[in-house]
Structure 1
Amino acid sequence: MIETSPSTSALVDVVLPCLDEARALPWVLDRIPAGWRAIVVDNGSTDGSADIAGDLGAYVVHEPRRGFGAACHAGLTAATADIVCFSDCDGSLDPAVLPAVAGPVLAGSADLVLGRRRPTTLGAWPAHARLANLELARLIRRRTGLRLHDLGPMRAARREALLALGLTDRRSGYPLQMVVRAADADWRVTETDVPYHPRTGRSKVTGTWRGTWQAVRDMRAVLGEPPAPAPTVTATTVQGVGR
């Protein structure tokens, strides 16, 4: 992993995994809340995404290992803020709504908040991706007891607590492993609605039936893992409060 030097401290770091998102990046980065830092993790783009992100003031991390989880975790380890948010940088999710996602974590009333995607148009969320998401929600409920509706990519939690979960998946299973291990650690996991727009360009994961079901297979493997040992740092100990 090669990274640029962070230029300023931030209240919240926003991790944006990136693979050929040159068209969407200007809009996405312009919507980052004031005082927050965008960490764009370039995962092998060939369209100049990294240069565009850097020119627009983002903190750019280069992660040569291909995989959504690899990019997310590279951003997490590069972050320095107490609170870390994750979001896509394809234009489907508006970073301007991130304060609503991070708010419960900042207030200490939740440990992990997921953005439940609410499509703004019929074409924003393809039928095959939506069906796969429903199946994953059912499997999550069976495995963890969490009654979630969406394994959304927009989320927020405390950085040290996330690192203590010891996440190991570096493919499509990373977001699910985060939720499963958070549930095993007795985190307070909640959802909040976020608008979901048609993405700019084609999805690398859920743009096709094949890509979608490959992601489902990755996630089924995560669900089959035995419960991880309790982390030495929990979300609540980082906050300094008890349950």
Structure 2
Amino acid sequence: MAIIKVIIPAYNEEKAIAKVIAAIPKDVSEIIVISNNSTDNTSNVAKNAGATVLAEKKMGYGYACLKGLEYLSNQEIKPDIVVFLDGDFSDFPEELAQLVAPIIDKNIDFVIGSRGATLRERGSMTPQQVFGNWLACFLMKLLFSSKFTDLGPFRAIKYKTLLVLQMEDKTYGWTVEMQLKILKQNFTYIEIPVRYKNRIGVSKVSGTIKGTVLAGIKIISWIFKYTFK
């Protein structure tokens, strides 16, 4: 049986994180929540729900994910598959089995959960998120012949593939960096349609003008960086 570990970056998600953890299939080997400088009770709630909890003081989605990878690198038994999942309960964690199936059954390197319009709850993605996703995927298709339709945070990847990617982005560019490196290094990938609902609480990125602008700049800069690399 494949060893699957889940990494969940979380910033002030005390109201959602226990629900996320409870919905993750029980055959997952370990759930790792990285409290990204949370000022609420996220860490205690996650720990009481059964997760391994790490603390990352440096603010940024990428910083939190890298903290999780550092933790995995120090374990004696490494996972076969790593799943990334948000801590706001906007994804459906019970769909994790669908994401890892192509890796287990077909030896695919990377699987992304695609939040198609027909499967999204109304209001779950802001207009700027929808446009930003469309623009990023359009540019990747134009410049790299990509078939990606989304930058969704719910994703699964072989641990060995993840190590080869040598992820480095510290903030908003983590998801697009991963997809660009998958494309540039010719790893196999596939998208699986997943449902998406309104998050619990307010988004720390798309919920603010500053967050939206900074995320957009970072995503576009990664795309053009790889275009000329």
Q: 1:106 is matched with which residue: 98, 104, 107?
A: 104
Q: What residue is the counterpart of 1:213 in the other structure?
A: 213
Structure 1 gaps, min length 5: 1-9, 230-243
More helix by share: 2
Q: What residue is the counterpart of 1:174 in the other structure?
A: 174
Q: How does 1:85-100 map to 2 (within 5 A)?
A: 85-100=83-98
Does 1:70 find its partner at 2:70? no
After superposition, what is the alpha-carbon deviation per residue over 1:75-119, rounded to whole angstroms, capped at 9, x for unaligned?
A: 123233110000101010011101101111122341110000144
Give the Cα separation in 1 of the matches to 2:59 and 2:150: 24
Give the C-alpha shift of residue 177 in structure 1.
0.7
Give the Cα separation in 1 of the matches to 2:12 and 2:228: 34
User: 1:26 aligns to what SS in structure 2?
Assistant: helix
Give the C-alpha shift of residue 160 in structure 1.
2.1
Query: Could you say what the CA RMSD is over the residues aligned between the two structures, in angstroms?
Result: 1.7
TM-score of the superposition, structure 1-length normalised? 0.85
Give the Cα separation in 1 of the matches to 2:208 and 2:11: 17
Give the Cα separation in 1 of the matches to 2:193 and 2:27: 23
Does 1:32 find its partner at 2:30? no
Give the Cα separation in 2 of the matches to 1:214 and 1:166: 23
Over the matched positions of the two proteins, sequence identity in percent amounts to 30
After superposition, what is the alpha-carbon deviation per residue over 1:20-75, rounded to whole angstroms, capped at 9, x for unaligned?
A: 00000111010111121211011000111011111111011111111111111211
User: 1:57 aligns to what SS in structure 2?
Assistant: coil
Q: What residue is the counterpart of 1:232 in the other structure?
A: none
Q: What residue is the counterpart of 1:16 in the other structure?
A: 8
Q: What residue is the counterpart of 1:239 in the other structure?
A: none
Give the C-alpha shift of residue 210 in structure 1.
3.3
Structure-2 change in CA distance of 1:61 and 1:135 (3 Å): same
Give the C-alpha shift of residue 208 in structure 1.
2.9
Q: What residue is the counterpart of 2:47 in the other structure?
A: 54
Structure-2 change in CA distance of 1:137 and 1:173 (3 Å): same
Give the Cα separation in 2 of the matches to 1:171 and 1:211: 11
User: 1:196 aligns to what SS in structure 2?
Assistant: coil
Give the C-alpha shift of residue 143 in structure 1.
2.9
User: 2:112 aligns to what SS in structure 1?
Assistant: strand
Give the C-alpha shift of residue 228 in structure 1.
10
After superposition, what is the alpha-carbon deviation per residue over 1:164-195, rounded to whole angstroms, capped at 9, x for unaligned?
A: 21111111111111111111110112101110
Give the C-alpha shift of residue 142 in structure 1.
2.2
User: 2:166 aligns to what SS in structure 1?
Assistant: coil
Give the Cα separation in 1 of the matches to 2:212 and 2:175: 14
